[in-house]
Each structure stands twice: as C-alpha cells, then as structure tokens.
Chain A
Amino acid sequence: MGKFSSLEELRPSPMLVCTLVLVSYFFVTAGVAYDIINEPPAVGATTDPVTGAVKPMTFMPYRLNGQFILEGISGGFFYTLGGVGIILLDLSRDKNKSTLFRNFFMGMGFFLTLLSWAACMTFIRIKMPGYMR
C-alpha cells in the first residue's frame, strides 16, 4: 500500500474488469459446473456398426442435459466470440482511431459474429437432429 498516494490508484479500470467478466462468462457457459459434478469424459466414443472400429464422438446426442468436456468448451468459446464480434462492431465507431483500425474492426466484427452464429447452429443441429423440424 505504500507506493500508492491514494486508494483511487488501486481501483482497476472498467475495461479490465470487463475482460475478466468475459472470461468468467466463457467458463460458466461452457458448463464447467456440470463437468466438475458429473465428470464426463473429454470425448465420447461410438462403435462403427459395420467395421467395429471405435470412433470418437464429440457431441452427446439427443439430450440437452448432458455434455462432454470438449463440447462444452467449444460451445462456450463461440458464445464469447460472438459477443466479442458485437463489441468490435461498436469499437469501430470510435472516430479517434485511424481508418485502418476502424475498417479492420468492422470487418472482423461482422466475420466473428456470423462465424459464431453459424458454428453454434451447426453444433446444435448435430446434437439435436430434430431441431427446427
């Protein structure tokens, strides 16, 4: 405490707190609590009916209330990435930055948002074949 002249300097900046919050959002939506309690394997396994070989299965099928660890992490990752995309769209409106930055942020924002949305839709269709039918 000695090198701070006042307590205000200890206070973290809002954007640092926001980053920490986004990291915690990733962990919660990845289903970490489910992983800790139920301890599922990282990936599942199916046996091929014809050859008898064991293939890895990434998504636990037909149930919304079960997941494998990697499946949860990929889902949570894309949720956070989509959020970052929308944030980038807003960061591109800052008139004080250079044009290059603003164009880059806007392009990346569109790309990340669309990518996350497409990925999550694909995942949910793999997991639940009856989705939207």
Chain B
Amino acid sequence: MSSEAHYSSGASLLETVKRYLTKTKSQELLIRSTTLISIYLLAFCVRLFSVLRYESVIHEFDPYFNYRSTIKLVTEGFYEFWNWFDAESWHPLGRVVGGTVYPGLMWTAAILYKVSSFLTACIKLRDICVFTAPFFAGNTAMVAYLFGKELKDTETGLVAAALMAVVPGYISRSVAGSFDNEAVAIFALTTTFYLWVCAVNRGTVASGVFAAFAYLYMAASWGAYVFISNLIPLYIIIMFVIGRYSRRIYVAYTTFWTVGGILAMQIRFIGFNHVLSNELLSWNAVFAALQVWELIVFLRAKLGDRKFGQLAYLLALGAVGVGAGAVVILIASGKLNPWTGRFWTLLDPTYAKKFIPIVASVSEHQPTTWASYIFDLHVLVFAAPAGLYFCFKKLTDGTIFLTVFALTAIYFSGIMVRLMLVAAPAFVLLSAISISSTLASASRELRLHAAASEAAKSAPAAEAAAAAAAPAKKRAASKRAAAGSDGEPLPSRPVSNWAVLGLTALALMGYAGHCIWVTSEAYSSPSIVLISGWGPHRHVLDDFREAYYWLRHNTKPDAKIMSWWDYGYQITAMGNRTVIVDNNTWNNTHIATVGRAMASNETEAYKIMRQLDVDYALVIFGGMSGYSSDDINKFLWMVRIGGGVYPDHIKESNYLNNGDYTVSDRGTPTMLNSLMYKLSYYDFGNIMTEHNKGTGYDRVRGYEIGKKDVTLEHLDEAFTSEHWIVRIYKVKDLENRF
C-alpha cells in the first residue's frame, strides 16, 4: 500500500491512547500513579499555611540552633562543623557542638542546598531549611505506601500513603518552618522499619545492609534511635517466644547489628555508647543470644537428636528469664542505673517529677490526655484497634512487627505528648490495614452480587439448559439473586455493602476536613511571630525579631545576654550575641544559677550577674499584650530548678501564698522583690491596659499587680519592644568609689 521508506503505524495518537487505557493493567497503573502524585503534592502543600499567611521564616526555638549549625556547615565546610566548639553559648563554659549534636538534619539541608545550587536553582539556604520538612513529609508518605504494600497489598499501601500525608500528629512537627530533627527523623524511622520488614521477609544480606544504612540515617538524626534499637530486639524475642523464629530473621538481624552498629558508631555523639551504654543493652544481648542459639541448633543438627531441640528451647528461655530477672534485681537494688533520665521517664512516669525538674518542666514531656488522641488522629483512633484485630487474624512476620511497634508506640505516646509523633505512623499503618480490609470485603461482595445478578438475568433461558451441568454454587447464587435477596444474610446484600462503602467514604472525607482545619488553626503558627485575627483585623506582633535585631545592632559584639534558657538559641541565631544558657540544657547547675539570679532580690542577683560577666538581661513579658507563655508564668520552674541546686538560698515556700504563685497584692515580699518581678513590671504600674480596670492591670494573670512603683538600682532599662513583650535591661558597671 504505502511505499514510504520508514514504517508508520496506521493508528493515530488518540487510538493508541484509547487502546492503552482500556487495558486493566494500564488503568490500574494510571490510577495508582495519579493517586501517589496527588498524595505527595497534598502532603507538601498542606504544610504551607504559615508561609502563605506570613512569610517563609523559621519557627520555634530549637530550629534556630539547627539553622545556625547548617549555616556553619555550608559556609565553613564539613570538618569545621564536625569539630566545632561554640564559645557563643553557655558563657563561660562553651559547648562542644561537634560531639553533642545529631548532624543528620544539617547534612540533609546542606546537601539539598548544594544540589540545588549545582542545578543552578539557587534557592536561599533559609528557604531550603524552611521547606525541608514538607519535602520529607511527602517522602514519608511514599515510604508508607511501600510499607503498606509490603505488609499486605497495594491497596493498603495507597490508603496508608493517603492517611500519612495529612495525619495531624505528624504535621504538628513538620510544617514548613519547623526545621527540627523530627522533620527528617520520622522519614528515617519509617524507612528503617520498612527496610527491616523487607529484610525479614527476604532474609538476604543485601536487604539487611539497606536496613542498616537507613538506621544510620536515623541514628544521625534523632536521639530516639534507641527506640529502633530496642524495638527490633524486642520483636526478635517475641518471634522466638511465639515460635516463628526462622533463619531469615537470623540473617537479617546479624547483618543489621554488625553493619548498623558500626555505621551508628561513626556519629561523634554516639561513639562507643553503642556497645557500652545500657540503653542499648537489649540490642547487644539479643545479638549474643542469637549466636548462641544458632550454635546450639548447629550442634543439634550435627548430633541429630530430636529431644535436643526442646531441651535447648527450654534452656534458652530459662537463660533469658534468669538474665532479665538479674538485671531487674540489680536495677531495683540501685547497683545498676542504666537509663538517662529522659528515657527512664518513659518506664516510670513519676520519675522526672520527683528527681529532674528540668525534664518535667518541658511542656512537650507532659503526659497525654484523651483529647489529644482524637485531635491528632481523628478517625485513626477508631480504625487502629480494628487494624490490630486484622493483624492478629492473619499473622505474618510483617504484621507481628507492626503490632509490636504499634503497642510500644501507643504506650509511649500515652506517657509523653511529644511521642505522639512516633505513634502516628503506627496508627496510620494499622488504620490502613483495617480500612483497606473493610473496603476489600465490601467490594468483593458487591462484585459477587453483580456477577450473580447478571447470571440471573440470563438464568430463565439458560437454567433449563444448564441446570444439569452448572455447579451447585453458581445455581444457588443465581437463584438467590433471582429470588430478590429475601432469605440472604444482611452482609451479602448490596444495600449493606453500599452502606459500608458510603460510611468509609464519609469517614475519610471527615478525616481530611479535620486534618486541614487542625493544620490551619493549631499547628501553623510561627511562634516567633504572633498573628491574631484575620482579614482586615489582622494583627501581627513581631516583637521578638524587633528585640533580637536591636541587640544585634545596638550592643557591643562581645556582649553577654542573660535570659531564661528557652530563648538562648534564638538570641544566638538572630541577635548574634553570646548567651549564658540555652535550650540544650546540658548543664543543670548553670541553669539553676540563672534561675537563682532571676528569683533573688536585685542586690543578690547583681552579684551573680557580675560573676557571670552579664551585660544585658532579657525577659519576656506578656501582661501588656496578653501573651501567656511569658517568664512570669515560667517563674515557678526558675524557683524549682534554682531551689534544687541552691536549697539554702531559694526556698519555694517563700514565693507561695496559700500554695500558689501570685504577683498581686497578696504576693509574698520575696516574690515582689525578686529580679524577675522588677524586670517584668518596671514602669508598668503607670500604664492603663484595660478600660474599667486600674493601672497596672496584668492581662495574662487577670489582676492588678502588687507593687506598682518598681525602682531598679543596678540595672537600666535599655529596650522594650512595641507591645512590651521583650524587655532588655543593661547591667550597670560597678560604682566609682573615688
């Protein structure tokens, strides 16, 4: 027909597209990829509220330190960061940053920055840092898809990815601007667990090595890597006890222990702790126990005795029990104090309250209430127990791992609000299994019913002919359909299955609506900037940055600033000045000294400030603006921490009137003469803040202050921000005596 040199098919583009689209496999691929791309975009975009409403700025306190470290890494190079000694914080002690920081987040941001510069995209480093968290949230959703696929099937993976993209428990710590460890650590955690389950299912050395590299990323990013190091040995113990131990687990764990352990030890902060510390006791002990067990099995195979297996099992169980009992007795009798305070609180929640006030004072370390669960998880709290049931119904190696992970994560999330973040992936995966199973069984019934009713339509003609030959089931099904579903049980009728599908659709739509609302209202506040109202009544309070930039431009370069530890990172990053204590809280005595200075009267405080070389004192005051997280509300922690180290100088009872802290005229003289009171309320007694109240009405506490004429002897007011939120005072030099 055609004499052209090259071959050309007769079909047009439209026909080719139609031909591909009518095949089921390509339809499925198209739906799947479109869904995953939409999920990725959703996960990225839902976290952008604060950037769209205000500007691309770094939030909170800790991210400012991470940002400063990333700047150092990018501008001065890898080895300067690795060996960094920071003299600008914890004056006069300094801080060995290289050895006390988890560098994973900084490396990630620096690599992203270098890659984007290489591709000539030239994004500013601050913007890279702000958008790291949403970028990795999208990646976490993709890993959740893979994890669901590995645990059950592709449908579960898709549901898991969709749920993970918007679950508020994860969004709370990964909005744009929240440049904190958890932004990359949850991605590393989910990836490590996914690769571990792959390693257990395949039992090859290569999959174990992949899991070990994911573990390296987790160990480099967050202190909660010990959760992985204790969960996986716990899983192996449980698999052993329930009798599902296999050679694949042995290969996976041995590879994971050796390669992962060596890689994790490269992080300076971890170092030899990985083999010596008691927080990783189970990690090492299970490895040793596994080798012993395999040795015994090998011997039995050589000896060929059947009973030997049972005896060896009993011996192993007994050895584990005796060992655990010995460790418990040693701990209870005080001879072995294994875990650092932060992790000990997870096992004994009342420990921090009694012994370590600093750990107890952090608001994220408070225990969880019932409302946090529905707020952070919505329908997942209902679907997760059902998911546990589905996991128990069909036990596989992967679902047992998920069950162990979920139970430990849910327990820890009940102890500390912050760990809701670690429980969120567990809730997501369990809910994905239950939702996907419910949908699958409902749609299967519907499809069966549709096929049966189609057969029933042609039944009258074919029944006579096929009655003898047709299998009994199909005849019964078509008869049932023909009979109009009268004697059918409810679950097989189409109306109840459509009801199940409808209920699930409504639940998921409600979930999506709730998550977006929660993200928009509760988790998108850049706490460095306070925004209230919306539209034409929007009010932006930018006092913090105003004060920090005043410090940067109006004080001498080596000025030392004393403030409560919450603000240390922000002052060093934005004000570029040395601070006395900051959020790292590694030295309790130093913090207690600052607390003692804030709680003492002005003369005593002046002596301490001269000792510490302080040039400026900075307090946060909310009485004028109504900002409730100010230093007067945090004062009780200054007294408790200071009193913990200096019990002779600071006694909590001196500050309490009838058991509570008050700055009204009922306040005790010690309270009304303390440095914190004076610095907060200096000049405030002349201000009228509300219409029909007297002068000096504190908007946060809700009453007038006790002492309205505050005089300062050793300090001078240097700066007060626009809404009186940040107040800076200069410490006067010693008097000239001649």
Interface residues of A (CB under 8 A from B): 6-8, 11, 14-15, 17-18, 21-22, 24-25, 28-34, 36-38, 64-67, 71-72, 75-76, 79-80, 82-87, 89-90, 92-93, 99, 102-103, 106-107, 110, 113-114, 116-117, 120, 123-124, 127-128, 130, 132
In Å, the complex CA distance between A85 and B411 comes to: 22
- Known contacts A28-B411, A33-B415, A37-B349; decide if A65 and B438 are in contact (CB<8 Å): no
Tell me the interface secondary structure of chain A in the complex: helix
B350 at the binding interface (Cβ < 8 Å): yes
Decide if B414 touches A31 in the complex (CB within 8 Å): yes
Number of A-B contacts defined by CB within 8 Å? 157
A50: min CB distance to chain B, Å: 21
Report B-chain residues with C-beta under 8 Å of the C-beta of A15: 392
* 19 more CB-based (< 8 A) A-B contacts, given A65-B363, A65-B366, A132-B513: A18-B388, A18-B389, A21-B388, A21-B403, A21-B407, A29-B370, A31-B370, A38-B367, A65-B369, A79-B381, A79-B382, A83-B385, A83-B389, A86-B382, A86-B385, A86-B386, A93-B445, A102-B490, A110-B503
Query: Which residues of B from 179 to 213 have beta carbons under 8 Å from A?
Result: none
In Å, the complex CA distance between A33 and B370 comes to: 10
Report B-chain residues with C-beta under 8 Å of the C-beta of A6: 310
What 0/1 pattern do residues 401 to 445 of B give for CB contact below 8 A with A? 001000100110111010000000000000000100110010001
In Å, the complex CA distance between A66 and B499 comes to: 37
Of the residues B363, B371, B417, B517, contact of A132 by C-beta under 8 Å: B517
Chain A residue, CB-CB nearest to B363: A65
Report B-chain residues with C-beta under 8 Å of the C-beta of A72: 369-370
Decide if B389 touches A90 in the complex (CB within 8 Å): yes
Report B-chain residues with C-beta under 8 Å of the C-beta of A11: 242-243
Report B-chain residues with C-beta under 8 Å of the C-beta of A116: 382
Decide if B310 touches A67 in the complex (CB within 8 Å): no
B311: min CB distance to chain A, Å: 11
In Å, the complex CA distance between A66 and B363 comes to: 12
A13: min CB distance to chain B, Å: 9
Selected A-B contacts with CB under 8 Å, 30 pairs: A6-B310, A11-B242, A14-B393, A17-B392, A18-B392, A31-B370, A31-B414, A36-B367, A37-B350, A37-B367, A38-B367, A65-B366, A72-B370, A79-B370, A79-B373, A79-B374, A83-B381, A83-B383, A86-B438, A90-B386, A90-B441, A93-B491, A102-B489, A102-B490, A110-B499, A110-B503, A114-B503, A116-B382, A124-B375, A130-B521
A122: min CB distance to chain B, Å: 11
In Å, the complex CA distance between A22 and B382 comes to: 11
Query: Which residues of B from 467 to 498 have beta carbons under 8 Å from A?
Result: 487, 489-491, 496
Decide if A92 touches B382 in the complex (CB within 8 Å): no
Of the residues B242, B243, B369, B388, contact of A34 by C-beta under 8 Å: B369
A94: min CB distance to chain B, Å: 9
Report A-chain residues with C-beta under 8 Å of the C-beta of B356: none
Decide if B375 touches A64 in the complex (CB within 8 Å): yes
